[in-house]
A = this chain, B = another copy of it.
Amino acid sequence: MADKKTALVISAHAADFVWRCGGAIAAHAELGYDVTVACLSFGERGESARLWKEGKGLDEVKAIRREEAEKAAEVLGVKELVCFDLGDYPLVLEKEDKFKLVDLIRKVQPRFMLSHSQYDPYNTDHMYTTQIALEARMVAQAWGHNPGEKVLGAPQLYLFEPHQTEQMGWKPDSFLDITPVWDKKRAAMECMNGQVHLWEYYERVAQQRANHFKRNSGGQSGGRDCKYAEGFQSIFPRTLDEL
């Protein structure tokens, strides 16, 4: 485990990290974490419908998406935003791309990682990204990969909330209170000019998850209040000294 508090988000498309775990990023930044975000693509082809309808070209779309992502990252307190620019729909990582991701994981030495759900029939880029995240995590742990480098420990991989959770077979086991940083998440979402209708959508997601937070933290009979929350599913078990 790194001495420094660190976290790494692996996001298929440029905006995913904002909607799905912007609260977790901002909250951990305030807790003193260095949070790194890896965007494997800009979501330029598949998640920029408005820009294409306006007649923008590929380079313009990518530039706009990059700028939005950078602004959002800054608002959230992201330490570093790394754009891999690998293309989307479909996203494909060649061997060298995977090793670049391994390099980043080793550089960051994250205490925990965040990525997509393991199944998504609407968006195969998402499930592919999680598969790659697991593969890269494994390589980063190998003593024989670039011997001499510091190998990775065994950080948790949290899966952030997909759209239409039930279709994805995603089941949250952890709810994070993001009330104190809600303004930052909202501001980061507002950097995504092309998706105004999603601002309200994800505000409601956060409110519903806050209700779930309360239901599980003591409920009507004494639980502390919570206005906004995010849910996460853990891949790996926890190790504890107290239940």
Interfacial residues, chain A to chain B (CB-CB below 8 A): 1, 7, 24, 27-28, 31, 44-46, 48-49, 52-53, 58, 61, 88-90, 92, 95, 98, 112, 121-125, 131, 134-135, 138-139, 141-145, 147, 151-154, 156-158, 163-167, 169-177, 200-201, 204-205, 207-208, 211-213, 215-223, 226, 229, 231-232, 234-243
Contacts of A223 in B (CB 8 A): 1, 153-154
Which residue in chain B gives the minimum CB-CB distance to A125? B138
On whether the beta carbons of B234 and A217 are closer than 8 Å, the reply is no
Q: Is B215 a contact of A173 with CB atoms below 8 Å?
A: no
6 smallest CB-CB distances across A and B, nearest first, come from A45-B144, A52-B143, A217-B239, A46-B142, A153-B218, A49-B143
Q: A85 vs B243: C-alpha distance in the bound complex, in angstroms? A: 28
* Given contact pairs A92-B95, A121-B236, A122-B215, A243 touches B176 in the complex (Cβ within 8 A): yes
* Bound Cα distance A125, B134 (Å): 10
Give Cα A212 to B239, complex, Å. Answer: 9
- What CA separation (Å) do A217 and B238 show in the bound complex? 8
Inside 8 A of A239's CB, which chain B residues have their CB?
Answer: 174-175, 177, 213, 216-217, 226, 229
A174 touches B58 (CB 8 A): no
**CB pair B89 A145 closer than 8 Å:** yes
Can you list 25 A-B contacts with CB-CB less than 8 angstroms, sorted by A residue number?
A: A1-B223, A27-B241, A45-B144, A45-B145, A46-B143, A49-B144, A88-B142, A89-B144, A90-B139, A121-B236, A122-B215, A124-B138, A154-B217, A154-B218, A165-B165, A166-B170, A166-B171, A167-B237, A172-B237, A174-B238, A174-B239, A177-B240, A201-B208, A216-B236, A231-B237
